[in-house]
Amino acid sequence: MRGVGLKDLEAVLAIARNGSFRAAALDLDMSSTALSHAIAQLESGLGVRLFNRTTRSVALTEAGRQFVDRIGPALSDIGTAMEEARSQAETPSGMVRINASALAGQQILSGLVLEFLRRYPKMQVDLATDERLVDIVAENFDLGVRVRDLVPSDMIALSLGHPQRYAVVASPDYFARHPPPQNPADLKSHACLRARLPNGALFRWHFERQGETVLVDVPGRLTLDEAGVARRAVLEGAGIGIFLEQSVADDLAAGRMIRCLEDWTPPRSELCLYYPGRRHPSAGVAAFLALAREVTSQQRQPRS
């Protein structure tokens, strides 16, 4: 049997993870033919079939499942060892992959990401914005950025400040036809734009005032799952929407939207950078975290 290399084992994990030779080949930046040939040689050397293949599907055999269960942790340990070795480099180099919501991505871009690239010319940043709350480890991200309420409990969170606040808004045209609500209960008689969360649940509007907390399942004929589409619907006079304050600040300043229930929407949890604690960060990730701490500390210093 020819020597089995890490790439052969990574190929097995990639196919198991993707459930497809084609998708795995794309992940590994190789052709489907070369991948199929490599797996065939590995199976021949092992004397056992790892995958059952049809023209439409690929699935692990029982032997393949056991093989993946054993090599997965081993390859993870090897990857950790290599990351620790790379982290000894004096000058950070390579790629930092970050997953963030669209608004969070905008907030960290100029003050953090671009400053990081200026300081470390050998580094690259891949900033992926996604409204889904993804598993950053499973999807190979180094860091995530979300409000603290959404940071998974098994992650280390670093506060970036930027307290988040909701704004309840509608167009001038809508409020010309319907008197603005004076308290959360008044929303029951309004057309509201309902928001569907990434997990499929409907977002309940959260209000607080003088220690009183109110959660409202707002009524509405239109349900949306993307903030940009909801903003357009509000501008078209379709009803009342709720957004993070920063995302509609320009519309409020220009008079395209009118805010209501402002005394019921105090600041909530801050934005956080988060990462898995069980991983030894690469030099690039460590440098990014250090810069984030520096920038956040500067923001908190009182201005003279």
Domain boundaries, the chain: 6-86, 94-163+270-300, 166-264
Best mean pLDDT range from 24-33, 57-66, 233-242: 233-242
Q: Looking at the domain that runs over 94-163+270-300, which CATH code has it been given?
A: 3.40.190.10
pLDDT of 85 reads 66
Q: pLDDT of 196-255, one tens digit each?
A: 876 678 888 989 998 888 989 999 999 998 888 999 999 999 999 999 888 899 999 999
Q: Cα(168)–Cα(205) distance, rounded to whole angstroms?
A: 9
Q: pLDDT of 30-50, one tens digit each?
A: 898 888 888 888 888 888 999
Tokens describing residue 176:
């010309």
pLDDT of 304 reads 46
Domains 6-86 and 94-163+270-300 share a fold: no
Q: pLDDT of 249-290, one tens digit each?
A: 999 999 999 999 999 998 877 889 999 986 677 889 999 999
Mean pLDDT of the chain: 87
Q: Looking at the domain that runs over 166-264, which CATH code has it been given?
A: 3.40.190.290
One of 1.10.10.10, 1.10.540.10, 3.30.43.10, 2.40.37.10 is the CATH number of 6-86, namely 1.10.10.10
Long-range contacts of 147-151 (CB under 8 A, 24+ apart): 147/104, 147/268, 147/269, 147/270, 147/271, 147/272, 148/269, 148/270, 148/271, 148/272, 149/268, 149/269, 151/272, 151/274
